[in-house]
Amino acid sequence: MMTDTVSILGVPFSKMSLAQTVRHLDEQVQDRPAGLYHVITANPEITLASQSDGHLREIIGTADLIVPDGIGIVLAAKRRGEPVAERVTGYDLLLRLLEKGSERGWSFYLLGTDEETSVRAVENISRDYPGIRIAGRHHGYFGASEEPGILADIRRSRPDVLVLAMGAPYSDKWLYKHKRELEGVKLAFGVGGSLDVISGKVKPAPAVWKKLNLEWAHRLLFAPAAKGQKSRWRRQAALPKFAYRAILRK
């Protein structure tokens, strides 16, 4: 775990900027001797969920890096007098790592979202980041009987970066469960619905929404939740609780 962190409701968030985070992860991919480096992109909803989900707390406690994916985390850190540099969202982190991977010749494995979206995401990534290699991909709607084959495929392809798009916190729970079976993977992290945006299935938030830190509202209005997940309206109900516990309460 990184030492330069701030604890928000018991979750140790990195204080690094996006650029610093990318440099740090570049070092992990380039020089990591062995073992998978697990990054969690945690927003207020996940942070609040960890208060009542002991398994999720255990996963957070073993993660190598937790980045602040949400303006609520930024505000809570500022309130504590230990500010983080900026938000580091899963989507932004993925794009920057694709850029870096294109420079370095990294390989990526994409696991998650639906089949059509997965195919289109791979096509767009291959076009926009020609220096990377797609080691493999698989949609996220697989059953228990298919899981061994998927794990074997990931091990066989030995990707530098494993991108998980099965929703939070399921992606991190799945990774934690199978971490020892993923030999050869250097870096893994969940990206939420980022592949939906890269594929063109969901439009990215306009610049003005981003400037106002309202990407969450754009997703709430225009991006439906994935199959099997709570509706975004129900999930956003956690935000007032987080605001009270982490920002407003002394």
Mean pLDDT of 122-139: 98
CA distance 202 to 193: 9
Half-sphere exposure of 61 (CA within 13 A, CB side): 9
- pLDDT tier at 247 (50, 70, 90 boundaries)? confident
Half-sphere exposure of 149 (CA within 13 A, CB side): 8
- pLDDT tier at 246 (50, 70, 90 boundaries)? confident
Domain that holds residue 172: 5-248
Residue (of 159, 155, 148, 168) closest to 188 by Cα position:
159
Q: In the predicted model, is pLDDT for residue 52 greater than 90?
A: yes
In the prediction, which pLDDT does 231 show? 53
Structural domain count of the chain? 1
Percent of the chain with pLDDT over 90: 75
Mean pLDDT of 41-64: 95
Give pTM, 2 decimals: 0.88
Q: In the predicted model, is pLDDT for residue 233 greater than 60?
A: no
CA distance 34 to 39: 16
In the prediction, which pLDDT does 218 show? 53
Token output for 63 = 């993660």
Angle (nearest 5°) at CA 44 between 62 and 194: 80
In the prediction, which pLDDT does 203 show? 78
C-beta neighbour count of 75 within 10 angstroms: 19
User: Which DSSP helix (H) or strand (E) runs through 125?
Assistant: helix 115-128
Beta strands in 139-235 (DSSP E): 161-165, 187-190
Angle (nearest 5°) at CA 169 between 181 and 209: 130
Reported as a single tens digit per residue, the pLDDT across 165-224 is 999 999 999 999 999 999 999 999 999 999 999 999 987 766 665 665 656 555 555 555
Higher pLDDT, 224 or 121: 121
Token output for 205 = 């938030």
Q: In the predicted model, is pLDDT for residue 97 greater than 80?
A: yes
CA distance 83 to 87: 11
CA distance 125 to 145: 29
Reported as a single tens digit per residue, the pLDDT across 54-81 is 999 999 999 999 999 989 999 999 999 9
Q: Which residue has the tokens 């775990």?
A: 1
Reduced to 3 DSSP states, what percent helix, strand and coil does the chain have, rounded to the nearest 5? Answer: 50, 15, 35
- pLDDT tier at 228 (50, 70, 90 boundaries)? very low
Count of all residues that appear for the chain in the document: 250
Q: What is the DSSP string of 142-194?
A: --TTTHHHHHHHHHHH--SEEEEES-TTHHHHHHHHHGGG-TT--EEEE-TTH
